[in-house]
Amino acid sequence: MSDLRAQALEWLAQDPDPDTRAELRAILDAGDERALAERFGTRLEFGTAGLRGELGAGPNRMNRVTVMRAAAGLAARLPRRGRVIIGFDARHGSRRFAADTAAVLGGAGLRPEVFADPVPTPVLAHFVRAHDDIVAGVMVTASHNPPRDNGYKVYWADGAQIVPPLDAEISAAIDAVGRVDELPLAADWPVHDDAGRYLDAVSSLRLGGPARDSGGDLSIVYTPLHGVGRDVLLQAFDRAGFPAPAVVPEQAEPDPDFPTVAFPNPEEPGALDLALALARARGADLVIANDPDADRCAVAVPGDGGWRTLTGDELGCLLAGHVLRHTTGDDRLVVTTIVSSSLLRSIAAAHGVRFAESLTGFKWIMKAGGPEDDGGCGGSSPHRKPGRLVFGYEEAIGYSVGDDRGVLVNDKDGIGAALAVAAMAAQARRDGRTLLDLLDDQAREHGLHATSQLSIRVDDLSLITSAMSRLRADPPVHLGGRAVERFDDLSHGVDGLPPTDGLRFRLSGGSRVVIRPSGTEPKLKCYLEVVLPVEDDIQKVRARAAADLDALRTDLSTILS
């Protein structure tokens, strides 16, 4: 008997799910060694993003055994009798995985509580932070991944996602878990069906947002992309005094199959087509989209050439300016990641506030703005800076907005960002301006910072490793016609940041390229930035920047092919 077959039979004997048992039994009966190798040749790694992967049988898939093992490993790292809140989205398996997590945690002596219905991720993250007696939170979601995927995020007591070395400690505890059919399980636990505390907090953000008398004429189209954001967002808008956005009817209800989009990510081409069509038909001022778990926010606006979707960096820098105009104090801190636009540094300097860069991912953004005490994560981040974090963003349309009290959620918050965007657009409208005008204002003041991406998807992850090794061994001296003035291998730790698998090229004129493997998908991602002074017609400068970005993409495509 092959080792893979023996592993599969052992898995089959403990799996409580009849569907994955049937899947695995069929594979065994067919003698499909390739399918066995895909499922048992490796396993999903538990890291700072928790777990995320395709649904199915085996340790390299998301399933009830994988989830129960993860819950048991988490329980081993938590104080006994600690209170843990569990949320889930509307994806296939999410409700069942949440219940399995509660059963395992309860059986281990903890006090699990589960939301009764699917909730947005920021509601769960805020709930953890808002209750002093909660020691951790679990969110079952794969965010904007394809329909076949699911995932498992862990939040610590501060309401932020875990960082090293805590992830490694939990992973080691997971490895030590025996058969899941031998775990003690709880039979019941308290259930929540209230997002009220989050709604109170988000609707009270003091960012110059209009009450009904000043924002009533702003027409907004909204899509939750078949996710779970709609009901909470509509309640938040109502409490904050905004008129209800028009919701795209074809995408209004949660649907784990995401039938109207090829990929449920508002950044993907075509994802906003239905929202844009409705906006044109209604003559709307703004399109706002959340991803399926509502932790990301995308925005489109009308312009002279038709509707335009703002990039994550454009919206991030607009929101930063808006937050800083409506907050006070020189202890304010704004944070972004090493792959996001360098414009935020200039905006922070102009407002006389503190600025920090972090590694990619909101868990690092929140640690850059956190206290020196790591909240139990075990170890401090050397790049952490003191300050009152009022805004953080990453280019992948993730934003955490705050007011003079600091940020509302210690993670991405697509609903809070949507409210801030609406307030900013309404205020610009009152001033006879648009969001595109505000972008031009920033470019004239700080220079045009144009950003773009190149993503290379692979079937074999070894191709990513070999490409990174080639670049480390023989880095280019020119990219896109610009000299490489500095090359940083981020795996060694640079500028006080923890080591990470990434490469950064600083180019002449302030431009920049960062290359890193994706943390959630089989992709090599390249982040491009071109910086140009605005001394004449801004549209001509934008055209030059677009040409420079194209030149960078061409060179990188050749180098990485």
Of 369 and 525, the one with more pLDDT:
525
Kindly list the distances between the CA atom of residue 15 and the CA atoms of 18, 59, 93, 188, 241, in Å, as whole numbers in the listed order.
Answer: 8, 11, 15, 21, 50
Q: Pick the closest to residue 439 from 314, 311, 336 (CA basis).
A: 314
The three state secondary structure string of 318-367 is HHHHHHHHCCCCCCEEEEEECCCCCHHHHHHHHHCCEEEEECCCHHHHHH
Contacts with 558 (C-beta within 8 Å, 6 or more apart), sequence order? none
Q: What is the pLDDT of residues 71-87, one digit of tens each?
A: 999 999 999 899 999 99
pLDDT higher than 50, residue 383: no
The single-letter code of the amino acid at 323 is V
Burial class, 334, CB count within 10 angstroms (exposed 0-12 / middle 13-18 / buried 19+):
buried
Q: What is the pLDDT of residue 461?
A: 82
Taking only the tens place, the pLDDT of each residue in 332-376 is: 999 999 999 999 999 999 999 999 999 999 999 998 855 443 433
Q: Which of 273-287, 368-382, 514-528 has the lowest mean pLDDT?
A: 368-382
Residue reference for tokens 């990641």: 337
Q: What is the CATH number of domain 219-308?
A: 3.40.120.10
Helix, strand, coil: what percent of the chain each, to 5?
40, 25, 40
Name the residue with tokens 């926010």.
297
Please check whether residue 221 is in contact with residue 286, taking contact to mean a CB–CB distance below 8 angstroms: yes
Residue of higher predicted confidence among 535 and 445 = 445
Share of the chain above pLDDT 90, in %: 88
Residue 166 token pair: 């805590």
Q: How much is the mean pLDDT over the chain?
A: 93
CATH superfamily of 448-560: Alpha-D-phosphohexomutase, C-terminal domain (3.30.310.50)
Between 82-86, 365-369, 393-397, 436-440, the lowest mean confidence (pLDDT) is in: 365-369
Where does the pLDDT of residue 381 fall: very low under 50, low under 70, confident under 90, or very high at 90 and above? very low
Helix axes 166-175, 64-77, angle to 10 degrees: 120
pLDDT of residue 80: 87
In the chain, the N- to C-terminal Cα span, in Å, equals: 41
Nearest to 448 by CA among 546, 333, 337: 546
Residue 426 clears pLDDT 70, i.e. is over it: yes
Secondary-structure class of domain 45-196 per CATH = alpha beta
pLDDT beyond 90 at 228: yes
Cβ atoms 452, 549 nearer than 8 A: yes
Cis peptide before 112 (omega within 30 of 0): no
* Residue 538 binned pLDDT confidence (cut-offs 50, 70, 90): very high
Cα angle 190, 192, 193; round to 5: 150
Strand partners, 484: 507
Q: CB under 8 Å to 456, separation ≥6 — which residues?
A: 467, 523, 524, 525, 526, 560
Which neighbouring-strand residues pair with 87? 139
How much is the pLDDT for 369?
A: 59
Helix or strand or coil: residue 486?
Answer: strand
- C-alpha to C-alpha distance for 436 and 277, rounded to whole angstroms: 20
Is 143 in the active site?
Answer: yes
Q: Is the CB of residue 271 less than 8 Å from the CB of residue 289?
A: yes
Please tell me whether residue 94 adopts helix, strand or coil conformation.
Answer: helix
Nearest by Cα to 258 from 246, 274, 237, 244: 274
Q: How far apart are CA 407 and CA 502, in angstroms?
A: 28
What proportion of the chain, given as a percentage, has pLDDT over 70?
95
The pLDDT value given to residue 113:
97
Tell me the mean pLDDT in the region 208-235: 82
User: In angstroms, rounded to a whole number, what is the distance separating the alpha carbons of residues 207 and 426?
Assistant: 12
Q: How far apart are CA 201 and CA 236, in angstroms?
A: 9
CA distance 249 to 397: 23
305-332 average pLDDT score: 97
CA dihedral 512, 517, 520, 523 (to 10 degrees): 100
DSSP secondary structure letter of residue 55? B
| Span 148-207, pLDDT tens digits | 999 999 999 999 999 999 999 999 999 999 999 999 999 999 998 778 999 999 999 988
pLDDT greater at residue 213 or residue 207: 207
* pLDDT of 1: 57
Residues carrying CATH 3.40.120.10, the chain: 45-196, 219-308, 313-412
Local structure of 176: helix, strand or coil: coil
CA pair distance 23, 265, nearest whole angstrom: 29
Q: Is the pLDDT of residue 2 over 90?
A: no
For residue 468, report the phi and psi dihedrals to the nearest 5 degrees: -65, -40
Q: In what order do the strands lie in the sheet with 398-403?
A: 354-358, 332-337, 388-394, 398-403, 406-407
The reported pLDDT for the residue numbered 193 is 79
How confident is the model over 239-254, as a mean pLDDT?
96
| 307: helix, strand or coil | strand
Beta carbons of 443 and 534 less than 8 angstroms apart: yes
Judge: domain 313-412, CATH 3.40.50.970. Answer: no
- The mean pLDDT value for 42-53 works out to 90
Q: Which of 94, 143, 346, 358 is catalytic?
A: 143
Q: Where in the chain is the domain with CATH 3.30.310.50?
A: 448-560
